[in-house]
Amino acid sequence: QYTVTIVKNDRSEFRFEVSELHVEYGENDNTYELKVTGVGDTSDEVTFSVIEGEDVVDVDADTGMLTIKKAGEARIQASVEESALWNARIATCEITVDKAEQSDMGFSENTPDSFVYSETPYDTIQITGVKSTGKLTCNVTAGADVITDLSLDSSTGKIIFRPLKSGKFTIEVISTADECYQEKVLTKEFEITKAQQDTFAFEQGNTPEIKYNGSVYNGTINTFRNLAIDAKGEGAVTYSIVEGSDVVSIDGATGVLSIHKAGKVKVQAHKEENDCYNSKTISYELEIKKADQEIVFQKGESISLYYGQAGEAYVNAVESVSNGVLPDLGVGKGEITYRIDGENPLQ
C-alpha cells in the first residue's frame, strides 16, 4: 500500500517572452504586444497591469497591448490565478523608453541662403519638423551687427528679421526637450548682399535741352543743374564730364554746369557704394542750342530822306533788343555787315 500525493503545477516556466523592452519614443507607432509563455493550461486567463510608471505606459489588461505615453521607465506585470491543477504565478517585464531625436526638424527646403538688403523685414526663413512641445527659440550667434529685430513664431516656425547692412550672419534655433523628444539645435549661416540703386536717376531726365543764355541756376545766367536724386544710403554723389569739356565746365560736388558755348555734352553722376547698396553710375546727354539774336535798327525799319542834304552822313545802326547795347560791343562775336538791297540811289 502506498499513498500518492498530487500537487499543483507551480508554472515555473511562466514568463514574458521579452523580459526587458528598451525602445525609443515614436517607434512602432508607440504600441507593442506583450506576450507570455508557460501559462500551462491555456484556458487560464492572464491579466496584465502597470505596477510602476503609469504615466509612462498603459497596457490592455486582457490582450497585453502596450501603449507608450512618454519617455521613462515602467514595469508591467502579468498574472495568472490559481486553478484546480495550477498554482497562481506572476511575471514582470521592465520597460525603458528613451526620448526620440527630432530628426525631421530643420530649415525648410525653400529657405534661401542669401537675401538682398531691404529696408523692410524678411519672413522667409521657415523651421519645419518640430516635434517637441518645449520652448522654441532663436538667436544670432555671429553677425549681430548685420541684422536686427530677430523673432520666431513658435506656432508657425517662421523667423522674421530686418537687415541692417550687407554681410554674413548665423542663426541658431533651439527646440528644448520635452517628455518625449530630445533637444535639437539647428545652426545656419546666411548672407545679406548689397542692393542695387534702382531709384537713382536725374531730376530732369536723361536728354534735357537748353539754349545758350537761356538757362539760369541760382540767379546766374548760363548755368544748369540736373540733380541726381533718390540715391540710397550713405556715400557721396560726384559728377564729371564724359564728353564736351570744351562746351561746359562742372562742379564735381554739386553737378552745376557753367556753359561756355553751344554744343553737346555728356555728364556722369556716380553714387559710391556703402554697407547696404552697390555703387551706380548714370549719365545724361545735354544739348545746348545756339541762342536767337534779335536785333533792330536804332531808327526803325522805314525812313525817308531828302536828297541834297550835303555833308550829312546818315547812320541807322542795329542794336540788341535783349540788353540795349550795340551788337559790335558784345551780344555775340559774329561780324555784323550791312548791304543795300536793290538799286542804290545814293550813288
Mean of the pLDDT values across residues 328-346?
Answer: 62
Q: What percent of the chain has pLDDT over 70?
A: 90
Q: Over 90: is that where the pLDDT of 175 sits?
A: yes
The set of cell numbers assigned to 238 is 560726384
Among 177, 35, 209, 192, CA closest to 105: 177
Q: Over 70: is that where the pLDDT of 250 sits?
A: yes
pLDDT digits (tens, 9 = 90+) for 87-143: 899 999 999 999 999 999 999 999 999 999 999 999 989 999 999 999 999 999 999
Mean of the pLDDT values across residues 30-57?
Answer: 92
Q: What is the pLDDT of residue 309?
A: 56
Buried b (16+ CB within 10 A) or exposed e, 294-317: eeeeeeeeeeeeeeeeeeeeeeee
Confidence of residue 321 (pLDDT cuts 50, 70, 90): low
Is the Cβ–Cβ distance between 228 and 201 less than 8 Å?
A: yes
Mean of the pLDDT values across residues 61-77?
Answer: 97
Q: Tell me the C-alpha distance between 269 and 247, whole Å.
A: 18
Task: For 295-320, give the DSSP string.
Answer: EEETT-S-----TT-TT------EEE
Among 169, 152, 174, 162, CA closest to 114: 169
Q: What is the pLDDT of residue 334?
A: 64
Q: Tell me the C-alpha distance between 190 and 168, whole Å.
A: 6
Q: What is the pLDDT of residue 263?
A: 96
Between 336 and 220, where is the model more confident? 220
> CA end-to-end span of the chain, whole Å?
191
Q: What is the pLDDT of residue 9?
A: 83
Is the Cβ–Cβ distance between 82 and 45 less than 8 Å?
A: no
Question: What residues contact 336, with CB distance under 8 A and at least 6 apart?
Answer: 318, 327, 328
Confidence of residue 330 (pLDDT cuts 50, 70, 90): very low
Mean of the pLDDT values across residues 53-63?
Answer: 97
On average, the pLDDT of the chain sits at 90
Q: Over 70: is that where the pLDDT of 245 sits?
A: yes
Q: What is the pLDDT of residue 1?
A: 83
Most confident of 34-48, 261-275, 312-326, 332-346: 261-275
Q: Which long-range contacts (CB under 8 A, 24 or more apart) does 25-31 make?
A: 25/68, 25/70, 25/71, 25/97, 25/98, 25/99, 25/100, 25/180, 25/181, 26/100, 26/131, 26/180, 27/100, 30/67, 30/68, 30/69, 31/65, 31/66, 31/67, 31/68
Mean of the pLDDT values across residues 320-330?
Answer: 44
Residue type, 268: Q
Give how far Cα 248 sits from Cα of 97, 238, 242, 243, 259, Å.
86, 16, 11, 10, 5
Q: What is the pLDDT of residue 324?
A: 40
Confidence of residue 84 (pLDDT cuts 50, 70, 90): confident
Q: What is the pLDDT of residue 306?
A: 63
For residue 147, the number of C-alpha atoms closer than 13 Å in the C-beta half-sphere is 30
